[in-house]
Amino acid sequence: MRTIKAVPITVENFQAYGAFTKVLEPSGYNLGEFYPDRCHFPVNGRVPITFSPLVTYKPEQYIVDNAEFHDYTCEGVIPMDDDVVLHVAPASPGPVPELTEAFIVPKGTAVRLNPGVWHKAALPVHNDVCHVLIVLPERTYHNDCVVVDYAEEDQILI
C-alpha cells in the first residue's frame, strides 16, 4: 500500500482537476455582497442540476480502496460543516491509483471536479460526521458513473 499526504488545496495544485471558490470567505469582484460566477459548472441542454446531501463519516484510517469518474459531467463538492480530505487522480482511460493526490478542502469551499477525474467521497478531517452537498446533473449516479475497486496492492493510505 502506498502512502500519500493530503495538502491544502490551492489554485496552483488543483487546477489539473477542476476549480474551487471559498463560499464562506468570498473575495474579488462583487456586486455589493454578491460575488458572481466564481466556479463555472458547464451543463448541457435540458438536464437539470441537482443538489444532493451526502453524509460522510471519519474513518479510523483514510484508505483509498476505490474510485469513480463521470465521463460527461463535472461534479460539485461542497463540505458544509467540516474540512474534508478529497482524493483525486487525473482523467484517464483506466484507473491510475498511482497518480492519486489528496487535498484538504476547507468547509464552505465549492469544488468543481472536471469530467473524467477519478475521485470518491470527501471525508471529514476534524468531526466524526460531515455533511457535503454534491452537485450533479440529474441521475448522473445512474447513467454516467463508473466505480472501480482497487486491488490491495493499489490501495492508498492518506
The pTM (predicted TM-score) of the whole model is: 0.90
Interval 28-38: pLDDT, tens: 888 888 888 88
- In residues, how long is the chain? 158
Residue 88 burial class via C-beta count within 10 angstroms: exposed 0-12, middle 13-18, buried 19 and up: buried
- Residues near 10 by Cβ (< 8 Å), separated by ≥ 6? none
Which of the four pLDDT bands, split at 50, 70 and 90, describes residue 46?
A: confident
Query: Which residue in 157, 123, 151, 116 sits closest to 4, CA to CA?
Result: 157
Is 54 within 8 Å of 60 (Cβ atoms)?
Answer: no
Q: Which residue has the cell 460539485?
A: 76
